[in-house]
């Protein structure tokens, strides 16, 4: 049975999706993994299987409806369900009642995410599963070694550093001339005057905070001259303004290589604003500091701030960092807070989200006999897969010939370049080194591969 796993932002998602792949292949799934846009076109001509989606916003509705009509099972890891907007804004922008109709299972970060969706949308309890997110699995000691080569590279270039994680695509987008609000309207993320008004208020908060981050970076560089300041822009952000700062400050550097995880693991501390990196740093046991010049209790939730040292001004932030990091204070025991945060992220504890997700899919198929029909005979599946790949390649050649929107293509390629087969094999080998599992990887296109159990 095929499990189709799309990857939108390669550096952020690939290793986590490969851990999910490990558990799937060990349970006899054939995994086809790769660039989201291309995989979403490929699957329309491929054998029936299970599609692992990234969200349930309204812009996915038509695509999920097509998949459902073609006989695919649609499951979704709700990627945006942790550090999101207020409950009202999150439900309005991210949880579409129309899209949910075509989804079979929804995997939530924790009970908090589960409760918000369950209470905000009627009659969907049977579709919800609390699993955590595979990205947090990779910060557990038994998996974090997958980043060792990245860590060696980072430590070979930098000594002690503070990591500044920015998250301002709504006001500093990769595409320079984008009208961000209009782009959300076009995707049906913003659907009426109220939702547009609410988002513009949120955007005002982010714009002010963005300016504060631009101001604080050179101040950090001056306050800690013997410590490097590494700026890690959000994947959807432009790096230009940060690179200007780096040119002016000898100990400021802008980095987008690798996943953010090895940078967090190597850092002395993480500075953020309303960002998932706060939880990832918490999971890794790295000190967190938040610069929050303006608190907006309507659009923001407190999840990323409660586990961080929060400061309103740059001077207070710098003093707080000095007090916490450079005065040899005893490290506070955060074990109780970690237990409390399992309410938000189930796999903050011992749970392995990737394993749990595959088990939930298998159990769902077992108790829903009609879903078993997605498994075709091998010969028919092989013929249809070959036919689907040929059709995809022909359509891709035609599409590339007529492509006009270069900025959109540049943005997509920025988030996902070509897949390295050797990297995939290396990562899967690391994951399976203690259980003797074998994997066979075969390239379908430069942007995706098929991974099966070796015979």
Predicted confidence (pLDDT) per residue in 216-256, tens digit? 999 999 999 999 999 999 989 999 999 999 999 999 999 99
pLDDT of 334 reads 84
pLDDT of residue 391 exceeding 70: no
- Which one, of 78, 81, 300, 325, lies nearest residue 205 by Cα? 300
- Which one, of 206, 192, 173, 234, lies nearest residue 89 by Cα? 192
pLDDT of residue 388 exceeding 70: no
Same domain for 357 and 338: no
Q: Are 300 and 85 in contact (CB under 8 A)?
A: yes
Q: Are 430 and 375 in contact (CB under 8 A)?
A: no
Same domain for 390 and 280: no
Kindly state the DSSP code that residue 253 receives in the 8-state scheme. E
Mean pLDDT for the chain? 89
DSSP 128-154: EEE---HHHHTTSTTTGGGGHHHHHHH
- Band the pLDDT of 394: cuts 50, 70, 90: low
pLDDT of 210 reads 94
Stretch 178-190: mean pLDDT, rounded?
Answer: 89
- Which one, of 119, 77, 45, 8, lies nearest residue 361 by Cα? 77
- Stronger pLDDT, 10 or 129, i.e. the higher one: 129
Percent of the chain with pLDDT over 70: 87
Same domain for 373 and 288: no
Same domain for 263 and 164: yes
Q: What is the pLDDT of residues 308-367, one digit of tens each?
A: 999 999 999 999 999 888 765 556 678 889 899 999 999 999 999 999 999 999 999 998
Q: What is the pLDDT of residues 192-221, one digit of tens each?
A: 899 898 888 888 989 999 999 999 999 999
Question: Is the pTM here over 0.85, yes or no?
Answer: yes
pLDDT of 57 reads 93
Number of domains in the chain: 2
Task: Among 315, 344, 373, give the residue marking a domain's end.
Answer: 344
Task: Among 309, 326, 344, give the residue marking a domain's end.
Answer: 344
Same domain for 117 and 183: no
> With helix as H, strand as E and coil as C, how does 32-44 read?
EEEEHHHHHHHHH
Q: Is 292 exposed, middle or buried (0-12, 13-18, 19+ CB in 10 A)?
A: buried
pLDDT of 307 reads 93
Same domain for 324 and 199: yes
Same domain for 291 and 169: yes
In the chain, how long is the greatest CA-to-CA distance?
Answer: 68
- Band the pLDDT of 174: cuts 50, 70, 90: confident
Same domain for 181 and 127: no
Same domain for 289 and 161: yes
- For residue 207, give the CATH number of its domain: 3.40.50.2000
pLDDT of 397 reads 60
Same domain for 157 and 206: yes
- Stronger pLDDT, 311 or 376, i.e. the higher one: 311
Same domain for 51 and 77: yes
Stretch 128-151: mean pLDDT, rounded?
Answer: 95
Q: What is the pLDDT of residues 32-72, one digit of tens each?
A: 999 998 899 999 988 899 999 999 999 999 999 999 999 99
H or E segment to which residue 106 belongs: strand 105-108
pLDDT of 326 reads 73
Same domain for 274 and 330: yes
Task: Among 308, 329, 344, give the residue marking a domain's end.
Answer: 344
Domain of residue 81 covers: 2-137+349-453
Stretch 131-153: mean pLDDT, rounded?
Answer: 95
pLDDT of 267 reads 97
Sign of CA dihedral 378, 429, 75, 125: positive
- Band the pLDDT of 370: cuts 50, 70, 90: low
pLDDT of 419 reads 82
Q: Are 32 and 4 in contact (CB under 8 A)?
A: yes
- For residue 71, give the CATH number of its domain: 3.40.50
pLDDT of 223 reads 96
> In angstroms, rounded to a whole number, what is the distance separating the alpha carbons of residues 121 and 319?
45
């Amino acid at each position: 049975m095929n499990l189709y796993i799309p990857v939108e932002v390669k550096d952020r998602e690939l290793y986590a999706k490969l851990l999910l792949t490990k558990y799937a292949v060990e349970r006899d799934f054939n995994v086809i993994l790769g660039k989201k846009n291309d995989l979403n076109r490929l699957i329309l001509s491929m054998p029936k299987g299970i599609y692992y989606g990234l969200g349930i916003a309204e812009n996915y509705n038509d695509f999920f409806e097509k998949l459902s009509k073609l006989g695919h099972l649609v499951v979704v890891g709700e990627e945006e369900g942790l550090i999101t907007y207020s409950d009202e804004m999150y439900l309005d922008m991210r949880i579409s009642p129309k899209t949910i109709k075509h989804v079979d299972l929804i995997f939530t970060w924790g009970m908090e995410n589960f409760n918000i969706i369950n209470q905000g949308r009627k009659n969907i309890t049977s579709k919800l599963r609390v699993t955590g997110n595979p990205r947090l699995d990779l910060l557990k000691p038994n998996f974090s070694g997958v980043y060792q080569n990245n860590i060696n590279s980072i430590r070979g270039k930098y000594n002690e550093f503070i990591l500044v994680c920015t998250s301002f695509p709504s006001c500093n987008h990769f595409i320079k001339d984008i009208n961000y609000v209009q782009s959300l309207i076009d995707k049906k993320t913003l659907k009426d005057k109220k939702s547009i008004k609410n988002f513009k208020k949120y955007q005002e908060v982010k714009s002010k905070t963005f300016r504060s981050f631009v101001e604080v970076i050179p101040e950090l560089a001056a306050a800690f001259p013997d410590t490097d300041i590494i700026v890690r822009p959000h994947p959807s952000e432009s790096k230009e303004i940060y690179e200007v700062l780096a040119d002016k400050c000898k100990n400021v550097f802008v980095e987008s290589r690798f996943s953010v995880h090895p940078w967090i693991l190597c850092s002395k501390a993480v500075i953020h604003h309303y960002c998932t990196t706060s939880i990832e740093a918490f999971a890794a046991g790295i000190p967190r500091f938040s610069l929050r010049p303006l608190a907006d209790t309507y659009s923001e939730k407190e999840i990323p701030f409660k586990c961080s040292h929060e400061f309103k001004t740059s001077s207070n932030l710098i003093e707080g960092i000095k007090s916490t990091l450079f005065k040899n204070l005893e490290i506070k025991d955060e074990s109780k807070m970690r237990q409390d945060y399992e309410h938000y992220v189930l796999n903050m504890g011992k749970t392995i989200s990737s394993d749990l997700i595959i088990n939930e899919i298998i159990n769902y198929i077992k108790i829903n006999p009609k879903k078993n029909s997605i498994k075709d005979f091998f010969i028919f599946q092989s013929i249809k897969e070959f036919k689907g790949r040929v059709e995809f390649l022909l359509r891709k050649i035609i599409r590339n010939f007529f492509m006009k929107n270069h900025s959109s293509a540049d943005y997509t390629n920025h988030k996902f370049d070509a897949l390295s087969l050797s990297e995939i094999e290396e990562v899967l080998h690391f994951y399976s080194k203690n259980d003797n599992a074998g994997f066979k990887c075969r390239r379908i296109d430069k942007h995706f591969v098929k991974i099966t159990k070796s015979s």
